[in-house]
Amino acid sequence: MVDPQPEPHSPEKPARLWRILPLVLLVLALGGIFATGLHRSFGFEAFLRYQTWLQDLAAAHRWAMLALFCLIYVTAVTLSLPVSAFLTTIGGYLFGWALGGIAASIAATLGATNIFLIARTSLGRPLLERAGPRIQGLAAGFRRQAFLYLLSLRLIPVVPFWLTNLAAAFFGMGARPFVLATQLGMLPISFAFAFAGSGLDEAMTRHEKLRADCLAAGRGECGVDFDAGSLLTPELMIALAILGILALVPVALKTWRRRVADEGL
């Protein structure tokens, strides 16, 4: 009797496992953060509790604290935690609007690139390969003008940051245009939040007064509810929207010229 030959080892399975491993670790880390309540540390009330301590550390160990700030920022963006605006505001408060804005934009780009590469490797390519022709056609159209599309989405902060990263990964955008468009697009909004953060003292004084009035009135719930987005003025939001629209002008012109050329044939 002839022993059955063992099935040849397929190299695709280990490769597939290694491909999804970063995504699995990311999901586990995210679950651990929410399970332990660590995500509550990225809030305005927690910042108020340690405000003086953080100021003293930033003054005594400026560059070490800046490096720690960038590390926390990169990790938060990689995990797709919706705290970019809050962290940029705090960076402007602790390090000044110029240094805080530059550090935030670089850290945001690094974190976005991390999640982009993880999503593109683990999910983007396999899902796109299995998608229908319509989705693949949309992806091909996006890739042709990916840099300008992504730059516009970065300048107009209406789409969640993490969603833009995943969409670019799913549509198969190249890493180099992704990094460049993200860095250029993050600079204005990072400087805007950092500049608002450099004048955060007035906002903190106002919220502390509201909390004190709440406690004096004998209310049970007197937490500090603060939205970093409220620091941006309507004029600044309009300016960012105009920049985002201008980034799409070349795309519109190219589409119009192609349509005219097709109609002329």
Looking at residue 22, what is its pLDDT? 73
Please spell the DSSP secondary structure of 173-208, one letter per residue: --HHHHHHHHHHHHHHHHHHHHHHHHTHHHHHHHHH
Reported confidence tier of residue 1, pLDDT bands at 50, 70, 90: very low
Structural domain includes residue 3: no
What are 158-183's pLDDT values in tens digits?
A: 778 888 888 888 877 889 999 999 99
Structural domain includes residue 23: no
Structural domain includes residue 51: yes
Give me the chain's average pLDDT, please. Answer: 76
Looking at residue 47, what is its pLDDT? 83
Tell me the CA distances in angstroms from 158 to 59, 121, 155, 164, 235, one per residue in order: 35, 26, 9, 10, 15
Structural domain includes residue 79: yes
Whether the per-residue pLDDT at 10 is higher than 60: the answer is no
Domain of 166, in residue numbers: 35-208+231-264
Mean per-residue pLDDT, 213-222? 69
Structural domain includes residue 213: no
Q: For residue 81, what are its two tokens?
A: 């935690």
CB 116 within 8 A of CB 165: yes
Whether the per-residue pLDDT at 263 is higher than 50: the answer is yes
Structural domain includes residue 9: no
What are 43-102's pLDDT values in tens digits?
A: 777 787 888 899 999 999 999 999 999 999 999 999 888 888 889 989 999 999 899 999
Higher local confidence (pLDDT), 79 or 212 = 79
Mean per-residue pLDDT, 210-230? 65
Higher local confidence (pLDDT), 91 or 257 = 91
CB 66 within 8 A of CB 95: yes
Structural domain includes residue 219: no
Whether the per-residue pLDDT at 246 is higher than 70: the answer is no
pTM for the whole structure = 0.76
Structural domain includes residue 40: yes
Looking at residue 77, what is its pLDDT? 92
Nearest-angstrom CA–CA distance, 172 and 128:
8
What are 96-142's pLDDT values in tens digits?
A: 989 999 999 999 999 999 999 888 887 656 555 555 555 555 566 66
Question: Residue 199: which of 104, 92, 103, 87 has the closest Cα?
Answer: 92
Nearest-angstrom CA–CA distance, 150 and 178:
7
Whether the per-residue pLDDT at 155 is higher than 70: the answer is yes
Q: Total structural domains in the chain?
A: 1
